Every structure is written in C-alpha cells, then in structure tokens.
Structure 1
Amino acid sequence: MTAEHAPSSEQSETGPSVESAVAEAVALGIPGALADLGDLVRIPGIAWPSFDQTQLQRSAERVAELAEGTGVFDEVRVLRAAIPGTDEFGQPAVLATRAARGGKPTILLYAHHDVQPPGDDALWETPPFEPTVRDGRLYGRGAADDKAGIMTHIASLRAVREVLGDDLDLGVSLFIEGEEEYGSRSFAQFLSDNAGALRADAIVVADSGNWDSATPGLTVSLRGNARFTLKVRTLDHASHSGMFGGAVPDAMMATVRLLSTLWDEDGAVAVEGMTERDAPTPEYTEETLRDEAGLLPDTTPIGRDSILSRIWNKPSVTVIGIDATSVESASNTLLPEVTVVISARVAPGQTGEEAYTALEEHLRAHAPFGAELAFSDLDLGNGFLVDTSGWAVGLARQAMAEGYGVEPVDLGVGGSIPFIADLVREFPEAQILVTGVEDPHSRAHSPNESLHLDTFRHAIGTEALLLARMNAAAR
C-alpha cells in the first residue's frame, strides 16, 4: 500500500456498533486466551541445542492448532528454512495465511514461540514452566516474551472473526518464529522462501514493550547489536602462581585490564568509532530507573546525559559470559587463557558491522602485555528507526489510545530485534509497527519473568480494534 493509497480516516471508520461488539468479544475471550497462554508457557521450547528440541516442534504444533482454531486462515503450515552457509535447518515456525478480498489491505502478524533458557531454577519463586498468577501478574518463562505476543494475535483474530464473520475481508498472515531467542539464524531464508505469503501492507511485530503497565508504547527506534566471543591467551600452559606470579602475566589479569578499557570513569562506552544518536527523550527519573532495574541502594547509574538517551540512543557494552576456573575449583594457578562473551548494543543509525569493527580494533590496540586475542561466534544485527508519518502508525496510535484508555508514548528501546532489518530489506513498502505486552517489571530473560494481566487485556483490545479498522479500509 503506497502513501497515495493509504486509507483516510473516513475510509477506515468501522462504526460504533462493530467496535463495541469487538470490544465485548475481546472481554469474553480473555479467560480462554489466558488458559491457552498457560498451556503454551508449560511447553519449554528452547532453541539452544543443549535443550530438548522436540519441545520446539511440540510448541509449533500447538501454535498451529490455535491458528487453525481461529477460523480465519486459508492455510496453516509448520515450516523450517535452511540456515545459510550450513547444511542445517532452523527451528519450526508457523505460517498461516488468508488472502485479502474486495481490495482490502493485508497485515502480517509476527511473534515467536521459542523462549530463553530458565537459568537457575532456585532463583524462581515458582517453577519457570508452571504458569502462576499472583498480584495481577502471570509468572512463567515466555509468559511475556513472547507467548503473550502470540496470544494477543490469536485472541484479537478470534474476536474480529466472531464479530465480522464473512465480512472479514482483510488479508492476514501469521508468522510465529521458533528461534528468535537463538539469533533467528534461518529468518532471512524463511522470508525469501515465503516472500509471497508474507508480503503485506503493514507488519505488526509483537515483541517489544510499553512505557509502563498502564501506558501503551509504540516502539519507533531500536538499538542494533554486536555479540562475539573473545579468547585471551598469555601462556601455553598453566603455571604455579607462587613461583611465577609477579613476573608472568596470567590471562585473567590481562583480560581484566583489557576489558576495563571499554568504559570510561563514568561507565560510558569508550570505544572510538561507536557512535551515538542525537534525539530527544521523554522525562524519566533516576528513581524510576532504580525501581524498574533493581539498582541496589548504594549503586549509582552509569553514563552521561539523560537516562533514556543512554538506553535508547547510545551504545553499551556488557560482558555476559566468562569461562575461567570456578570459585569452588580455585587453585594457586596462573591461567593460560580466559574466554568471555561480549554483547554490545549499537546506537540506531550505525550498523552492527561498523560497531564490531570498532570494538575489534579497540581491543587489539589495547591488549596488555602482548596478550593473544582470538575472536569467534560473531552475531550482528542492525538497529531500526520508524517513519512515524505512515498511515498505519496513525491507525495504531488511535487504537492504542482507545484500547488502553491512555495516549501512547513513542518509545526507543535499548534492546535489539535484528530481524526487523531483514523485514525492511525484503518488504520495503510495508509499514512496520513494533508493539508488545511487556512492561518495565516483566523481567524478560530473567528469573521470575511475568506478564501484567491488565496490559495483556488492553493489548488484545488494541489489536482487535486495529484489525477491525484495517478491515474497513479501502486499499
């Protein structure tokens, strides 16, 4: 749908009777949506090879059943795509399609059914794969990220189908990925293999968050990412720390010295060549940051300028993994090598490749004591900036304001959704709407992940209203 064919407000008017009926259908469908969400949370579908991969197939098949049950789609399939450069295939994804009728637009609804590993079960207050409701939230791995995104799509389609019946002429494609948490390795190939089925006028990516549990957010910028493994070597074998310590630099000492050069005294990234974006941000206090991030009382924030500019518009570098002798196995030994995993977030406007090049050059230039460095397992993703002038953005903002009863906030997000760059490349004419059901206390990727139930209800109402209005639009 080009700009000149975008629906006007008059074209997209559904009428109060239809919209009130859709809202009522949403409300009546919430118990069923929550029950289905609970069933999905019980399936530990994790794309890491060390986990039971049959659970991902089970998860995909359950999502396919839910899609079939909406009565919306002409075809529902569970598919895999090749991983480029290998002889392997990616994890199972669900693709459901319905052709547009009567000149109506087509919308593509995306979410993912795979989840992060649970981590240490002892840190969970309730079992990670046993959905548990307490204090207005549903706890469980994937409850927010991103099985609630799946059920937002399913529940909104159910409501719209129930109200409109045969008058539902909107084209709809549903793409539920199975490896987003593991890097979307086959995503680009999947888009290429199924380009015709996935092509749409607007794409809703339900994998982001909101300003808070009561205020909706439309994500208009995302940071990119550059993740890699770094091995630091100083010795060809381990040595006694008493005999040689003080003359021989061990790998841990070299690693600590090297990593410390990545940040300045304020904790801001100190890597030449990693850029920043200059853009305004809403007011956000240190008190709010402390509450949402869980900062300890004596821990101070890092970086400079407004807090949200540090999260949305500046790069960050985090060491997310380390292989070295464990505390319980510690001995008086100089380590010959240490391996770390570095995860960098890249400011919108800079490519992941550019940022990685800057990081590698910095690390090589600052390697202490002649330490040998080896880089591997590179994973890159580009950021995303939305053209907020599009017709679909306008419809989404209106639907959010009515679905939540609060005006939406345009959000930047410090996290990354690298596959969106693939969507932009494959479908340059489509307008991409990045939405979601998470709030700042959802703790996605962490123990005790949870979904705010009222946010879930509002998200379904919003998307159902958006679908109904798009159904009333002339292409």
Structure 2
Amino acid sequence: MTIPPAPAPDRVAALRGRVAEAFGDLRSDLEALVRIPSVSSPAFDQAQVQASAEAVAGLLRGAGVDDVRILSVDGPDGAPGRPAVVARRPGPDGAPTVLLYAHHDVQPPGDLAAWVSPPFEPVERDGRLYGRGASDDKAGIIAHIGALRVLGDELGVGVTLFIEGEEEIGSPTFAQFLHAHRDELAADVIVVADSSNWKVGTPALTTSLRGLVDLDVEVAVLEHAVHSGMFGGPVLDAVTLLARLIATLHDENGDVAVDGLVTGAPPEVDYDEADFRSDATVLPGSELVGTGSISARLWTKPALSVIGFDATSVAQSSNTLAPRATARLSLRIPPGQDPAAAQAALRAHLEGHAPFGARVTVRDGERGRPFQAPVDSEAMQVARWAFAESWGTPSVDIGLGGSIPFIADLLEVFPEAAILVTGVEDPECRAHGANESQDLGELERVVLAEALLLDRLAQR
C-alpha cells in the first residue's frame, strides 16, 4: 500500500463541520443503543442481544448501507453463537476495502447499588455519557456509523462492517465466523474500534496487546472437613495451603516469579504514577508492586492475578478444617510469549511448589495470543495523520494490558491486511465497572478521525 496524499485543508475543515452538525443525532443513537441491555452472558436475556443486533442493523441501513444481514454460526461445541451484524458497501473499482469492527454486546451491570444512575438509562454528567456500553463498545459502533454518515455519497472506499455480539464472553465462535464468511469480510485495512486513547485530549493507536492464559488450581489436604480443635495443628487447612502456594507466584518486589515467561522491551512512553493511581483507584498508602516503568508493567511484562476463589464462605463457616480450596488464576502475557508455553510454565510452577505435600490439581482454561503491530505501516501513518488532524495533537503509540485474542484470529485469516487498533475509551471510562461512561468530546473527535482516515485511504 502506498501512502495516499492528504486531503486539502478545506476538505478537512468541511468534514469537521459535518461531524459537528451530525453529532447531536449520533449522540441520540448512542443513547438508544445503551438502553438495550445486550448482555451476552448466558445468565441474561438473549432476546436483548438480538434486539441490539436489529437496532444496529437499522442504523447501518440509515447510514446508506443496503447490504445488511444479521448472522451467527455454531461454535466448536455445537452451541449457537450470538448474533453479529455484517454490512457491506462496495467501493469504486480499484479502491481499497476497509473492515470496520466493533461489538454490540456488553458486560453485566454488576452491583446496581454501585451505579449513580441506572446502568441502562443513559445520563450525561460533566460532558460524559453514563451507562453500560456507553463506551465499551457501543460508542465504537457510533464512530463507524458517524464516519459513514459524514462521508455519505463521497465515501471513496469499500467498507464492510462486522459488529460482533459476543465479545464480552470471549468471542467463542469468532474463528468459525471468520472462516464461514471469509470472502465477505476480506479487506485491505481492518479498523478495530475496541481499545483506548492515552487520555482525554490525546489520541492513541494500540500497537501491542497482552495475551491471556487462565487456569484453576485446587489444593486438597483432607478427604472431608474435620473438627479444627481436634485435628488443627498437625494439619493446615486447604485455604492456608492454597494461600501459601499463591504467595510463591511473585517475588519480593511483586514481579511474577514463574520461570519460562517472556518480558518484552520497555515502551517508549510511561504512565504517570499519580495518573495511574487515580485511574486504578489505588487506596492511599498502598504501594505499587513490580519493577520497571509502570507502562512496562502494564504492557510488556507478565502479570498474574487471582480472579476467583472457592472456599467455605464466612457465612457458612464452622469450626472445621477446609479439605480443599480452588483459585482461578489469570496470567497476562506480553508479545513474544507463546500462550501454550506460558500455560505449561504456570502449571509446572504450581505443581512444583505443592505446600507440605498437599495434592495440587491444575485444570487448564482459555488461552489468547498477544499482538504486536508493525508501527511504521502505511495504514498506521495515515491513521496518525487523521488523529493529529482531529485532536490537534500528535497521537501516541501505546500497549494495552488487556487482551483482545480475536485479533490473532484476524491476522491468521487475513495475513495481508493492515490492522489498526483504535478506540473511544479513556482511563476515566470505567469500562466493565459501575458507572461506565463515554467522554462525548472524545467521541466526536473519533468520528472525525475515522472519516478522515477513510477519506485519505480513498486517495490511493
């Protein structure tokens, strides 16, 4: 791909004005999508996910895309996938095709008492729109729709939109969907609108993503619970033993202490400690752990967390020794690390550190590959220009501590495509948590940036 010439300044100004004029309707459309509780977790009403897909399909038709379908495929286990929206608008002969990705499903709302306003009733406060999915990732859908509306009949590239309906449950049928609809989804450039900007006012391109490995580890010491007074002393309860095993996973500095894991090169930008503490809501007095820059600890070093724990609850406790306890471990791995090798290393560590000979059983969970983008591709350079024009400041190349495993699937099926990982989120958006929100000024800038990106790609 040859870098196309930049549009003239008056063209940029005209598109900026169109975005400003269209943004009121785009905001209303985002609010309507937020009102649909499209939680893809099986514990919730899946009719709402279907309703969300239909709403997205309607918005795409209204944006001038005639070929719009709601599709799904069965997963490897035969279970049906959630509904995805696939829409296509061909470009002129010889024009590149751009695949625009986002997802319309959302996380469960969690504890309703933790929300200042109801999660599925959008409310604006101080320039931010609050509601589940307002940022992750229904704002990403609006970014795509906004760019199409603004360009209208002047859209000079072919576009395919793939709005997934099961990203928040790990995209279980994603690979099958890509293979089933490979010809329809093929593109020269893929824009994944499901990441974050550096901060409000500073755009970012995500050039690296950590992969994911998880597993369950059970420690068992007794056939069944026994009286803690009669037998406690010579035998430690399983919770204490599991705690001792978990404590071996980090060294005295808080770095992951599992042999065989990869560490990447430090990033060029760092995360200000005060900003990180505020964004992560670290309690006063709590020290940060690990060595190296904060951005390295987030993006290019492994991170290991206990994300679940099964043992006797306080409410159900009695004077007995717990016979067994289980923890779910989540290991984030940097680019350059093979997920299978990381899972094997973690398993070997756990099995090799059985406390006092307790029985340790490890059950493997999911694996997701990390991602490293070429930072100097032609598509990257066009995107950086579009971001700088929209925000009025240069973009930053960042990593992301979270994982988007399906990007590896995209690269496997479409190895020649240039992938741009962009987003509408910022460190204040609280994606997945209570009081999720979207900065509306940032969303307007994202719409303009995507319109500029598509417009310049059309100049090839």
Common topology (TM > 0.5): yes
1:146 aligns with 2:125: no
Q: Which residue does the alignment assign to 2:251?
A: 264
The separation in 1 between residues aligned to 2:83 and 2:218, in whole angstroms, is: 33
For residue 74 of structure 2, the aligned residue among 69, 82, 90 is 82
Give SS of 1:280's match: coil
The separation in 2 between residues aligned to 1:309 and 1:103, in whole angstroms, is: 42
Q: Which residue does the alignment assign to 1:391?
A: 378
1:109 aligns with 2:77: no
Give SS of 1:262's match: coil
The question of whether the paired residues in 1 share the 8 Å contact of 2:267 and 2:300 is answered with no
The separation in 1 between residues aligned to 2:390 and 2:361, in whole angstroms, is: 51
The question of whether the paired residues in 2 share the 8 Å contact of 1:76 and 1:94 is answered with yes
Larger CA deviation: 58-67 vs 276-285: 276-285
Q: Which residue does the alignment assign to 1:469?
A: 456
What's the TM-score once normalised by structure 1's chain length?
A: 0.94
Shift of 1:377: 5.7
Shift of 1:439: 0.7
The separation in 2 between residues aligned to 1:113 and 1:171, in whole angstroms, is: 22
The question of whether the paired residues in 2 share the 8 Å contact of 1:102 and 1:169 is answered with no
The question of whether the paired residues in 2 share the 8 Å contact of 1:400 and 1:407 is answered with yes
Give SS of 1:329's match: coil
The separation in 2 between residues aligned to 1:281 and 1:436, in whole angstroms, is: 20
- Give the residue type in structure 1 aligned to 2:22: G
For residue 441 of structure 1, the aligned residue among 409, 415, 428 is 428
Q: Which residue does the alignment assign to 2:114?
A: 123
The separation in 1 between residues aligned to 2:314 and 2:129, in whole angstroms, is: 36
The separation in 2 between residues aligned to 1:441 and 1:433, in whole angstroms, is: 22
The question of whether the paired residues in 2 share the 8 Å contact of 1:351 and 1:381 is answered with no
The separation in 1 between residues aligned to 2:437 and 2:106, in whole angstroms, is: 13
Shift of 1:376: 3.3
For residue 209 of structure 1, the aligned residue among 196, 203, 212 is 196
For residue 170 of structure 2, the aligned residue among 183, 189, 201 is 183
1:70 aligns with 2:66: no
The separation in 1 between residues aligned to 2:68 and 2:52, in whole angstroms, is: 15
The separation in 1 between residues aligned to 2:360 and 2:43, in whole angstroms, is: 27
Shift of 1:378: 1.1
For residue 342 of structure 1, the aligned residue among 302, 317, 329 is 329
**Identity %, equivalent residues:** 51
Give SS of 1:360's match: helix
**Where do 1:288-437 residues align within 5 Å?**
288-376=275-363, 378-437=365-424
- Give the residue type in structure 1 aligned to 2:203: P
- Give the residue type in structure 2 aligned to 1:101: P
Larger CA deviation: 268-277 vs 127-136: 127-136
Larger CA deviation: 123-132 vs 201-210: 123-132
Give the aligned CA root-mean-square deviation in angstroms: 1.4
Q: Which residue does the alignment assign to 1:57?
A: 50
Query: Any idea what the Cα deviations from partners look like across 1:110-144, whole Å, max 9, x if unmatched?
Result: 01111111111111111111111101111111111
- Unaligned runs of 5+ residues in structure 1 are none
Shift of 1:230: 2.4
The question of whether the paired residues in 2 share the 8 Å contact of 1:235 and 1:336 is answered with yes
The question of whether the paired residues in 2 share the 8 Å contact of 1:60 and 1:78 is answered with yes
The separation in 2 between residues aligned to 1:267 and 1:41, in whole angstroms, is: 39
Shift of 1:372: 2.5
Query: Any idea what the Cα deviations from partners look like across 1:444-469, whole Å, max 9, x if unmatched?
Result: 11111111111111111111111111
What's the TM-score once normalised by structure 2's chain length?
A: 0.97
Q: Which residue does the alignment assign to 1:8?
A: 4
Query: Any idea what the Cα deviations from partners look like across 1:138-170, whole Å, max 9, x if unmatched?
Result: 111111111111111111111111xxx2x4341
Shift of 1:339: 2.0
> How many residues of Structure 1 are paired with residues of Structure 2 in the alignment?
460
Q: Which residue does the alignment assign to 2:269?
A: 282
- Give the residue type in structure 2 aligned to 1:413: L
Q: Which residue does the alignment assign to 2:86?
A: 95
Larger CA deviation: 371-380 vs 297-306: 371-380
The question of whether the paired residues in 1 share the 8 Å contact of 2:4 and 2:456 is answered with no
1:63–1:374: structure 2 CA closer, same or farther, 3 Å change rule? farther
- Give the residue type in structure 2 aligned to 1:275: V
Query: Any idea what the Cα deviations from partners look like across 1:406-462, whole Å, max 9, x if unmatched?
Result: 110000111111100001111011000000011111111111111111111111111
- Unaligned runs of 5+ residues in structure 2 are none
1:199 aligns with 2:208: no
Q: Which residue does the alignment assign to 2:233?
A: 246
